[in-house]
Structure 1
Amino acid sequence: MKAPIPPYEKERLQALHELDILDTPAEASLDRITRLVARVLNVPIALVSLVDEDRQWFKSRTGLETSETPREMAFCAHAILQTTPLVVPDAEQDERFSDNPLVTGAPHFRFYAGVPIRTSKGFAVGTLCAIDERPRELTQEEMDILRDLADVVSREVQLRENLMLARMQRNRSDALFRASEAGYRSMFELASVGIALVAPDGGWLSVNTALCDILGYTPDELKILTFQDITHPEDLNTDMELLRQLIANEIDRYQMEKRYVRKDGSAVWVNLSVTKKLSEEGDLEYFISIIQNIQARKELEQEARHDALTGLYNRRALDAMLPIAQARADRSMLQMALMFIDLDGFKGINDTYGHDAGDDLLRTISARLQSSIRRTDSLVRLAGDEFIVVLEGIVPGVDEAREVAKKLLAAVAEPIIIKGEVIRTNASVGFSLYEPGSGKAPDELMREADRWMYKAKHMGKGRVMP
């Protein structure tokens, strides 16, 4: 089925012809984009197609020999009519394309996905498209990548448009125009996300500017490192296990949130998506990694999950971590304890010394409690002068939990000097136990520990129950 002619066709064609791009030589920056589309989406054909009056002409092409086709055969002539991408999962089942010579004969198109390429005035002069000889669907992630790369091509077109307009309006010299045109940055440099080709052993084969900005390294510095060298140690095992599954064909791609260690030693959170490129013989050639900086979002999440005064986890974090800790206990078959700590006489300290002194006291107590537990345990400021400790991997029975609670009480009881005053306080502790596989609900653990804490307080304070 021949695509309708858009109502703004005259203006669209004028915008296309003013670009002076038709029938020009291939450009490395665009060829890199079509190659990347083919690799990332695993399609045999990727094109930058420009829809002229009676033809579509390919400014860049990967996997297709011909440089143009009649417009009446062009899938892209349909795509430029849309404000959203055109996706054809199976052309043989689509009445618009089922009798198209490109479908019924060589090169036997079955799948098509095209995103319009637009000028600065919004005219769709062509598309960035991916084509396959077999029916398929794109994942949301793949569609997002195609949109992002089409946006890069649109920016290339708009840069050319601006340069052409400047030349016409200001009569710039040919030398200046060629210098400006030669200044086109490659797709890697234009992309807003980090992109890398990674060797099977983890070495960086090719990296773009955005990735270098994320990691703080130059391309030359990265190329003598591996991704393992700069992955945060706590995230490396997960990354390597997913990579093993990818190599073993157990999965065809993976995505994870992880931390890299930047050149300055700081950690940066990223969202990592990884696919692989195989040779015609089926051997692994390299991995394709798309890396998005999510540090700002992680910092916001960090703020939302931490108490502003003490820096400890807050109630929201506790609600998220407690079911996870119970699941770990179920898997390891090791007991877990939840301790409810309430400071004794905190209101009197506030009334006597003022709220600033009370805040200083809470910060000091928080630091003492934190230093008295293991790294595998979690300390939460629940509210006011109430704290929770999640104690994981303890021996069965109450003895170990009780010993830890006494250690915490001793830390709280140490005198504190605030603004020249010696302040003494104490706490009451109640705890509940989670037996692996018991299915006890988190709120039940909280209520039980709360009840024991109040029994300890009523028995004279500074005590542990049960």
Structure 2
Amino acid sequence: MPGAPVPPDEAARLLDLAQYHVLDTAREEVFDRVTRLAARFLRVPVAVINFIDVDRQWGKAMVGLGDSEAPRQHSFCAWTILEDTPFVVPNAPADPRFADNPMVVGEPHIHMYAGAPLITPRGHRIGTLCITDDKPHPLDEEDLRALQDLAAMAINELELRSHVLQMQQQISTQADQAEDLRRSLAHARTLEAVHDLMDLPLTPEEAAREAAGLIGQAIRADWTGLIVFENGRPCTQRVYGQPELHPVLFDLAEHLNMAGHSVTHIMEGLTEPFYLDTYREHPSALPKVVEAGLQAAAWVPLGTWEGKTFLMLTLRVNQERELPWRDSDRTLLEAAGRSVRAAFHERVIWNATARAARQDALTGALNRRAFDEDLEQYQRSREAFTVALMDLDGFKALNDTEGHAQGDKVLGLFAQALQAEVGNRGGVYRLGGDEFVLLLPGVYADDEVNRMVEGAVSAAQQGATGRIGASVGVAHNLEAGQAAAVTELADARMYGAKRRRTSARKLSVE
């Protein structure tokens, strides 16, 4: 099922959405009224005001549904924000873009969909007013004009709501407004840079560190750091610090890492940015840091990766201003944090898919595709490596006498035990049937490889009543050169070992 393409103005669009501070807020009557009018006038069971976030759609108001939140790749509304005109799907089950969509094949069982984009005064399409029906429901031009009119009412209400919030936050002077506008333009470029950064071939920790640096510079923070939680304990790294800072603040990462408890220590489960306008008032504030002049701090969650939780910490020191964190600063921190978290989530999904493509489903070992890829990489490295090919002796008899289910169990036991024997020294691959291969960095002697294999055979023997063994052939690139030649030599030696074992068995019987 294809998801909607990303609009070309995505970074600016997300920043525009973020400045309304509407995501994950409670229901409001002014927006509920719009959806009720849409459902009544257009004679549909479902009407929703949806906003399109980095990786999801989220509903602010709705009729006929309890919740409309869904992954962006499943969202009809993600298609609607691509154009200024209404987007209509008359027959979703017959449309190849949506035929297997969970909202079509499951609940709310969409048959007809129509959405009008919510277009901000700055020209960005941040969401939709949409209607659906679970049966055919033709719409005429008058219906679509009404849908657009109601969408315009919704954006007007959103603008009014935004203005009220701004008044409540006392952003009143022309100078402040001009500064926020300038900052917003700069922050849009920063968010674009963060998006580009997530596409670079960096480790998650490198990407999080670079993103923290970009964001900290954009909001002109005095100190910016990356916090990595692992096993419940934070490790803080300084990304940037003003040279003229008090030594305690410049070396804050060291102080936090040595502290047994601090504000940072309780931030591991953070799901949205946490701001302290007056750091010294927090009960877990570090006295030395307070004495050094820290005024305000902000912690921004950046996502999780392989058991590690990443947060950005940014500080302001001795700032003579009423608002340490301006609205434009908070908008950038929230939008950038969501972007980094979404990128991490995409990496998790991609890595899981890539691992599955390289894994043998029966034994859990790596598969032939993984072996071919890794062998090519070893060859390019020009370092010494060893290939050990093997297959299980007596396995056919085991399948014939104890059944294929028992044979599969033995293969699994052998693969798991062999990986345990090898540890992190190399890879275990199943090429097919009862044939396995080891790929090891460096040069390994036959005896060392045979000891690993014998240990795995002993473990696998626990799952079989008949006797099993393994024939092994070992070769390394220092004696055979190219990867293909190494594999061929290991294969020839494996079959030589098998012939010798067969001859030895015949002699013992005679």
TM-score (norm 2): 0.40
TM-score (norm 1): 0.43
Where is the helix percentage greater, Structure 1 or Structure 2? 2
Where is the strand percentage greater, Structure 1 or Structure 2? 1
